[in-house]
């Protein structure tokens, strides 16, 4: 990460001074300690900062008084090249928008202490409570092949996230859609830098199927259908269709959630709302399943996790006095068949990275042409990943996810 080599104190010192005024009494005079997380894949520059009061730990009137400290997560805009390549300007805008206009309804996101876009310059920052130290959450050690109990915990919570959006769409329609209209798109606009990537990686597993002697007609049809994956498939999958369209997390991966055990059951909290978008809930569900349950994903598992998701969705809707008639299980099931391949196509370029097969840094993508990205991503994980993708594709075919495209 670039912050490891960059002297951050020139901008972090003034920021901590500003934060001390926000934190109020007891934080008039502070020092700070900085660390850099190394256990995930970050697009923004991200720091853990512990702000410590310099007030004496022992006071004549309060002999047992402890030194005050606050742990925060500081996200800072990366370099201009990274902003262009990774859409950092749009991502910062969306996350700030989420915290300013929507987080009050969701209620389980980390608290935003301070955020400024600064005309979307590199001085833009977002400061959040560190829920790892504040609430005892931590990263999941299973980055892929995630145990079922963690998958179900994530699906119950994303069901709640989606249900709250359905509720706000019904009860605060004008306000909700003003918020939605302010979300900035990066990944799926027609000039997206990701077009080449999707088109190149979409059919990367077919050579495995061909080598195994799998149905040639199917392989030929799928390869032809994927010739222009981005325009012909991806842009269709993300089209808004009511009434199932909802606010999606947009980057619903294990990297963007933290867990803790309560009564021996995993509880989850979501982080990083930079890629929120309005569309089918299947975008979130299929992303998680195809990245974190790739080896186990079959019709039986899909039926089970979709049932758990739907039960949690209906429960939350009922708690908010919303009729769940428009959100039947049958409608959800059919929507997954229609759009569930989007998670697969995301996995064709990101599963290898998720499995730790990429030894470089995210900054490496800023150094090469985007056509070279696609070639690089197509190779990450080699035949091991290709075989996983090939098997997953056949399981999704069995579920019905290819019925709409072949």
pLDDT (0 to 100) of residue 44:
56
Is residue 3 over pLDDT 50? no
Give the mean model confidence (pLDDT) for residues 376-388: 94
CATH of domain 2-129: 3.30.200.20
Mean pLDDT of the chain: 90
Dist. CA 377–CA 95, nearest whole Å = 27
Lowest mean pLDDT among 210-224, 261-275, 366-380, 387-401: 366-380
Is residue 150 over pLDDT 50? yes
Is residue 6 over pLDDT 60? no
235 versus 84: the higher-pLDDT residue is: 235
Lowest mean pLDDT among 32-46, 210-224, 243-257, 272-286: 32-46
Instruction: Please calculate the CA angle 132-134-138 and round it to the nearest 5 degrees.
Output: 15
Lowest mean pLDDT among 136-150, 162-176, 199-213, 356-370: 356-370
Is residue 289 over pLDDT 50? yes
Question: 297-341 pLDDT, tens per residue?
Answer: 999 999 999 999 999 999 999 999 999 999 999 999 999 999 999
pLDDT (0 to 100) of residue 60:
47
The size of the chain, in residues, is 406
Give the mean model confidence (pLDDT) for residues 16-21: 93
pTM over 0.85: yes
Q: What secondary structure, in 3-state letters, does the chain show?
A: CHHHCCCCHHHHHHHHHHHHHHHCCCCCCEEEEEECCCCCCCCCEEEEEEEEECCCCCCCCCCCCCCCEEEEEEEECCCHHHHHHHCHHHHHHHHHHHHHHCHHHHCCCCCEEEEECHHHCCCCEEEEECHHHHHCCECCCCCCCCCHHHHHHHHHHHHHHHHHHHHHHHHCHHHHHHHHHCCCCCCCCCCCCCHHHHHHHCCCCHHHHHHCCCCHHHHHHHHHHCCCHHHHHHHHHCCCCCCCCEEECCCCCHHHEEEEEECCEEEEEECCCCCCEEECCHHHHHHHHHHHCCCCCCHHHHHHHHHHHHHHHHHHHHHCCCCCHHHCHHHHHHHHHHHCHHHHHHHHHHHHHHCCCCCCCHHHHHHCCHHHHHHHHHHCCHHHHHHHHHHHHHHHHHHCCCCCCC
Is residue 374 over pLDDT 60? yes
Of the pLDDT bands very low, low, confident and very high (cuts 50, 70, 90), residue 36 is confident
Is residue 41 over pLDDT 90? no
pLDDT (0 to 100) of residue 2:
42
Looking at the DSSP assignment, which residues form a beta bridge with residue 257?
270
Domain ranges of the chain: 2-129, 148-399
Strands 112-116 and 69-76 come out as: unpaired
- The pLDDT > 90 percentage for the chain reads 72
Question: 259-268 pLDDT, tens per residue?
Answer: 999 888 899 9
Instruction: Please calculate the CA angle 230-158-275 and round it to the nearest 5 degrees.
Output: 40
Give the mean model confidence (pLDDT) for residues 32-51: 77
User: Phi/psi of residue 205, each to 5°?
Assistant: -90, -5
pLDDT (0 to 100) of residue 65:
59
Strands 277-279 and 246-248 come out as: antiparallel
pLDDT (0 to 100) of residue 301:
96
Q: Is 331 within 8 Å of 276 (Cβ atoms)?
A: no
Give the best-scoring range by mean pLDDT among 4-13, 19-28, 73-82.
19-28
Give the mean model confidence (pLDDT) for residues 103-122: 86
pLDDT (0 to 100) of residue 368:
73
Give the mean model confidence (pLDDT) for residues 346-374: 83
Q: Quick one: angle between helices 341-354 and 282-292, nearest 10?
A: 40
User: Phi/psi of residue 53, each to 5°?
Assistant: -70, 140
Dist. CA 36–CA 4, nearest whole Å = 7
Of the pLDDT bands very low, low, confident and very high (cuts 50, 70, 90), residue 5 is very low
In CATH, the architecture of 148-399 is Alpha-Beta Complex (3.90)
Of the pLDDT bands very low, low, confident and very high (cuts 50, 70, 90), residue 293 is very high
Dist. CA 285–CA 162, nearest whole Å = 11
Q: Is 248 within 8 Å of 277 (Cβ atoms)?
A: yes
User: Phi/psi of residue 47, each to 5°?
Assistant: -130, 145
pLDDT (0 to 100) of residue 4:
43
Give the mean model confidence (pLDDT) for residues 163-172: 97
Q: Is 59 within 8 Å of 65 (Cβ atoms)?
A: yes
């Amino acid at each position: 990460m670039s912050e490891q080599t960059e002297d951050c104190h020139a901008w972090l010192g003034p920021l901590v001074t500003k934060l001390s005024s926000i934190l109020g009494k007891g934080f008039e005079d502070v020092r700070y300690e900085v660390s850099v997380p190394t256990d995930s894949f970050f697009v923004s520059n991200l720091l853990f900062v512990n702000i410590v009061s310099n007030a004496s730990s022992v006071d004549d009137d309060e002999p047992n008084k402890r030194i005050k400290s606050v742990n925060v997560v500081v996200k800072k805009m990366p370099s201009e090249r990274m902003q262009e390549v990774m859409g950092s300007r749009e991502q910062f805008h969306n996350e700030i928008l989420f915290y300013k206009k929507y987080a009050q309804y969701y209620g389980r996101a980390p608290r935003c202490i301070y955020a400024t876009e600064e005309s979307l310059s590199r001085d833009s920052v977002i400061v959040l409570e560190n829920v790892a130290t504040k609430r005892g959450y931590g990263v999941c050690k299973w980055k892929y092949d995630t145990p079922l109990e963690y998958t179900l915990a994530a699906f119950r919570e994303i069901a709640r996230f989606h249900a709250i959006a359905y509720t706000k769409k019904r009860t605060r329609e004008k306000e909700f859609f003003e918020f939605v209209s302010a979300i900035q798109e990066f990944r799926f606009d027609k000039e997206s830098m990701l077009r080449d990537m999707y088109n190149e990686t979409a059919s990367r597993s077919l050579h495995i199927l061909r080598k195994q002697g799998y149905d040639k007609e199917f392989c030929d049809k799928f390869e032809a259908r994927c010739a222009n994956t981005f325009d012909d498939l991806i842009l269709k999958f993300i089209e808004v269709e009511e009434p199932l369209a909802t606010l999606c997390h947009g980057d619903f991966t294990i990297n963007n959630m933290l867990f803790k055990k309560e009564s021996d059951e995993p509880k989850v909290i979501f982080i990083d709302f930079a890629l929120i978008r309005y569309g089918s809930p299947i975008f979130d569900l299929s992303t998680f399943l195809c990245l974190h349950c790739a080896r186990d994903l079959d019709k039986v598992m899909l039926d089970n996790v979709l049932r758990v998701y739907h039960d949690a969705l209906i429960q939350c809707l009922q708690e908010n006095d919303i009729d769940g008639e428009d959100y039947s299980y049958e409608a959800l099931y059919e929507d997954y068949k229609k759009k569930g391949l989007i998670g697969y196509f995301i996995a064709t370029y990101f599963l290898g990275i998720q499995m730790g097969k990429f030894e470089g840094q995210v900054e490496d993508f800023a150094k090469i042409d985007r056509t070279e990205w696609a070639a690089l991503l197509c190779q990450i994980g080699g035949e091991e990943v290709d075989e996983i993708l090939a098997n997953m594709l056949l399981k999704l075919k069995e579920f019905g996810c290819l019925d709409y495209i072949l």
